[in-house]
Amino acid sequence: MSDSSLSPLSPLSPLSSCIALVTGATSGIGYETAKLLAQSGATVLVHGRTAEEAQAAADGLVATVGIPAERVCAFAADFSRLEEVETMAARVVAEHPHLDVLVNNAAVAAPERHTVTADGNELAFQVNFLAHYLLTNLLEQALTSDPGGRVINVSSSLHRTGSIQWSDPNRARRYSRLAAYAQSQLALTVFAADPRVTAVSVHPGICATDLLPLYAHEGATPAAGAANIVRLCDPSVEIVNGAYYDRDQRVEPAPGSTEERTVKRLTKLADVLVGQSA
């Protein structure tokens, strides 16, 4: 299948044998992505910030989709605490040595005031990018075991307005809410070109979620955005490492975001900021 324009999933989806982890799956696009994957027959690992939120989402999927409870598993980690990301990744690997799909979806809008996590990183940069960077690296073996899996980074069209402040990624000297959010989305888009795992990034569309105020006054349904993500999860859809999609169309990302030099520079920066504690 060409990756320039993706058609909806067929009723007998290859996803039926897949194991997929969706971060930020307790509401919005993440929940709808988990729901579509479950409806397609996948075993879904539902991530939430707390165990209670994750279990509630998992229970909701079992109730609404009507799937066996063993096909939905709840996982918890507060992405503003990298130690929790490490703990969750260890549990995922222990319970699922092979992972077919990782959807890096969890995200927060950067707060109005400059906010630093307990790990010392600007909040949006950590939750939206660094936590996913760490999680993906910790799951690398599971994602690359035969047959190899794929990573879908849920990015944003706003990555085009962003710039990575290499010498001040925490933006301590000059903080802007929108600039901090755009930087996190640009980093996530660049990360898709990391050669260690097969990955793409996607702007799912402007949808009516908690992040809507960053974009517009109204948007499409979260389910519509989720459909653009789930198409890319389908193993029968060929993808190119580092490719960027705007909804269902493959387009060029921001200039320079797939350049090897930029990818290596981001990897070096991220390794420092996550403390190589893994």
Q: What does the block give as tokens for 190?
A: 């660049």
Q: What is the DSSP letter of 215?
A: T
Backbone φ/ψ region at 158: left (φ over 0), alpha (ψ -120 to 50), beta: alpha
Asked if residue 256 lies in contact with residue 244, where contact means CB atoms within 8 angstroms, the answer is no
CA-wise closest residue to 237 among 13, 31, 43: 13
95 forms bridges with which residues in the sheet?
A: none
Dihedral sign, Cα of residue 274, residue 143, residue 103, residue 193: positive
Give the number of residues written for the chain: 278
Asked if residue 220 lies in contact with residue 208, where contact means CB atoms within 8 angstroms, the answer is yes
Letter string b/e over residues 44-64, b meaning 16 or more CB atoms within 10 A of that residue's CB: bbbbbbeeebbbebbebbbee
Out of 181, 215, 244, 245, which one is annotated catalytic? 181
Q: What angle do CA 96, 102, 108 make, to 5 degrees?
A: 125
Q: Is 245 marked active-site?
A: no
Residues recognised as catalytic: 181
